[in-house]
Amino acid sequence: MINNRRKFIKQSLLASLATSLGSNIVFGKNIPFGMELVGLSETTSSFPGKSELLSVLNDRPINIETPAHLLNDKLTPNDLFFVRNNGIPPVNIDPNKWSLEISGESAASNKTYSLNELKSNFENISYNITLECGGNGRKEFNPPAKGNQWTTGAVGCVKWTGVRLKDVLNDVGIKSDAVYIGYYGADSHLSGSPDKDAISRGVPIAKALEKESMIAWAMNDQDIPLLNGHPLRLVFGGYPASCSGKWLKKIVIRDQVHDGQKMKGSSYRTPCKPVAPGAKVNEEDMCIIENMPVKSLISYPKTGATINLDQQLPIAGHAWTSSKEITKMEYSIDFGMNWLACRLSKSDNKYAWQHFEAEVNFPEKGYYEVWARATDIDGNTQPMLLPGWNPKGYLNNACHRIAIKVL
């Protein structure tokens, strides 16, 4: 009886949705019960200092994301790169007077470097590295999770230029008991209190010593934009972007897990073991997020595209992972019942996103959703639907999907 009632409700909803879309929903019987169709929602806005096509989630602090179709470039243009801030950016910045202090209980010495000394005294390097907010995709969680309701656009891949963090740390000297590094930036707390940090996170020492971990001053061969951390920031690929501290003023080498602002409680932590949706989780049962999950994004065409039945639909996008590389990319047009292969490029370096392409054929007129699914070299594959619930809505790597009408 329950199954019959659910089937009746689903058929009624499909009829209603088809009316709203003005089109038959092909493969509608395969839609997971309760899922909202992506073709029924889209929001855009504008923000001074970035492209007016970006979407504003919050203006205090500034948090803006990039609609998926604006992320089609192989390297994200600076004006399209998302912004996730926790405090108020500094003002009246003079790069010629900027300095970076390295200290901490596990530092063999304390040193301060000017920006020019960093550029002159260490090997300059460039890597294409993807940064993604740990809360990207939070909007899909149900029950709703607290925080900015990111959809898909808190991600981007750019060419970062700077120096290896390990070269600077080794110049200072690292004691044998070092386990973590933490950062402090020049941004101020929302309250205006000089005694409070807006954010002060960090990474394990092994991550800090990876060859791709950077202190950067340039994005795509230009100065880093103010809202993204000018004139100096950290860059850690494969970790939540909150670890890549902006407006970098100080790094501490710690003999314990860094305990700065947003390192405790539920901030950038998920339950160590799966929990029921809506459950309350004690702090001691929460684990710090380190590696980000495998993920992909369809960046072409824009969701809502319309084509004729006799046309092929070219699709394109990117896939990324904290593992070494993506090894397989697939798409589905029947709500995940069947999957077909995409062409997949090699990565420029570890932590750079990889590009995929395919040509899609449709069997009949109607409404479709094109879904994308990535698999990395370690066998990690995106789930079709939302992964395990957590209180802050982190690490949503469910398949991205776009709406298509075939006439």
Tell me the C-alpha distance between 185 and 187, whole Å: 6
pLDDT given for residue 11 in this prediction: 52
pLDDT given for residue 30 in this prediction: 76
Q: Which structural domains are found in the chain, ordered by start?
A: 55-288 (3.90.420.10), 295-406 (2.60.40.650)
H/E stretch holding 163: strand 155-164
pLDDT given for residue 38 in this prediction: 60
pLDDT given for residue 324 in this prediction: 95
Give the predicted TM-score (pTM) of the model.
0.88
A 10 A CB-CB count for 340 gives 12
Answer yes or no: are the C-beta atoms of 255 and 175 closer than 8 Å: yes
pLDDT given for residue 404 in this prediction: 98
pLDDT given for residue 361 in this prediction: 97
pLDDT given for residue 33 in this prediction: 53
pLDDT given for residue 73 in this prediction: 97
For residue 211, which amino acid is it?
K
Tell me the C-alpha distance between 59 and 57, whole Å: 7
pLDDT given for residue 262 in this prediction: 97
pLDDT given for residue 216 in this prediction: 98
pLDDT given for residue 22 in this prediction: 52
Q: Mean pLDDT for each 10-residue chunk of the chain (407 residues)?
A: 45 46 68 58 53 90 95 97 96 96 98 98 98 97 93 98 98 98 97 94 98 98 96 98 98 98 95 94 94 98 97 98 97 97 96 98 97 98 93 97 97
Long-range contacts of 244-247, Cβ-Cβ distance < 8 Å, separation of 24 or more: 244/131, 245/183, 245/184, 245/185, 245/199, 245/200, 245/201, 246/85, 246/89, 246/185, 246/187, 247/89, 247/90, 247/185, 247/186, 247/187
Beta bridge partners of 223: 218
